[in-house]
Amino acid sequence: GQQLNQSPQSMFIQEGEDVSMNCTSSSIFNTWLWYKQDPGEGPVLLIALYKAGELTSNGRLTAQFGITRKDSFLNISASIPSDVGIYFCAGQLIGGYQKVTFGIGTKLQVIP
Amino acid sequence: DADVTQTPRNRITKTGKRIMLECSQTKGHDRMYWYRQDPGLGLRLIYYSFDVKDINKGEISDGYSVSRQAQAKFSLSLESAIPNQTALYFCATSDSGRLAGPLDTQYFGPGTRLTVL
């Protein structure tokens, strides 16, 4: 089956720094999604990408759908303490079952 | 108000007990899903339902059953709970394209933390 490698698995950064995390897949996806999960809550959708090469921003967050359709990255600029949480990538094939494959998450901690 | 709600939010039970977790949504989505989350394993799909009469097993359905009582309600049951079913359980919904909006992007509830002793 499809597998997603998400890295890094955890990171500590200083408030104000930029952050980058990425996901790579063994096969292609039609859609890449990035979610954030706060402690004790469900994943919340941050950005959805639907086309290879697409670059989309949501405030200080920017994500890109890789040209090969096998990877995606998420950047967070000028991190703040409320950016703390677990960030998940997810790849999806559209058509038929539309199964979503999730990465295991990147745990981000921001040092004030 | 939240679009996807789950009850209860926390539950502690004993081995062998029957447990039902409930999910309701006001998003008008036709598709609903149940996942479990374990540390280091990410989210794994238990069951999914594309409409009221269409229910399918996910990758880890053994020991679980579901019921889609209405388009807006999808419940997950553990017929006889065991300790390795201790996990965080999430319900999610998506739209197959009947509504204006992202196709099949999943939106999650707040989760139910289940502990089986």
pLDDT in tens, A38-59: 988 899 999 999 899 999 999 9
What is the percentage of chain A residues whose pLDDT exceeds 90? 75
**Average pLDDT score, chain B:** 91
Q: How far is B99 from chain A (nearest CA, A)?
A: 16
* Contacts (Cβ under 8 Å, ≥6 apart) of A64: A49, A53, A54, A55, A56, A72, A73
Identify whether the C-beta of residue B56 lies closer than 8 Å to the C-beta of residue B74.
Answer: no
> What is the dihedral sign for C-alpha B87, B49, A97, A49?
negative
Identify whether the C-beta of residue A5 lies closer than 8 Å to the C-beta of residue A24.
Answer: yes
Chosen for mutation from A25, A33, A35, A102 (greatest number of chain B CBs closer than 10 Å) is A102
Mean pLDDT of B78-89: 96
Mean pLDDT of B62-73: 96
* pLDDT for residue A27: 86
User: What is the pLDDT confidence band of residue A81, given thresholds at 50, 70 and 90?
Assistant: very high
pLDDT of residue B1 exceeding 80, the answer is: no
CA distance A87 to A37: 6
Q: Is A42's CB within 8 Å of B110's CB?
A: yes
Mean pLDDT of B27-33: 92
* pLDDT for residue A97: 57
* pLDDT for residue A40: 82
Mean pLDDT of B75-90: 96
CA distance B93 to B25: 8
pLDDT of residue A22 exceeding 90, the answer is: yes
CA distance A8 to B49: 33
Q: What angle do CA B8, A38, B5 make, to 5 degrees?
A: 30
User: Taking chain B, what is the end-to-end CA distance rounded to the nearest angstrom?
Assistant: 33
What is the percentage of chain A residues whose pLDDT exceeds 70? 93
* Among the partner residues B41, B45, B107, nearest to A45 by beta-carbon distance: B107
- Which positions in chain A have a beta carbon within 8 angstroms of at least one beta carbon in chain B? 31, 33, 35, 40-45, 48, 50, 88, 90, 92, 94, 97-100, 102-105
User: What is the pLDDT confidence band of residue A65, given thresholds at 50, 70 and 90?
Assistant: very high
Q: Tell which B residues from 37 to 76 touch A, by Cβ distance under 8 Å.
A: 40-43, 45, 56
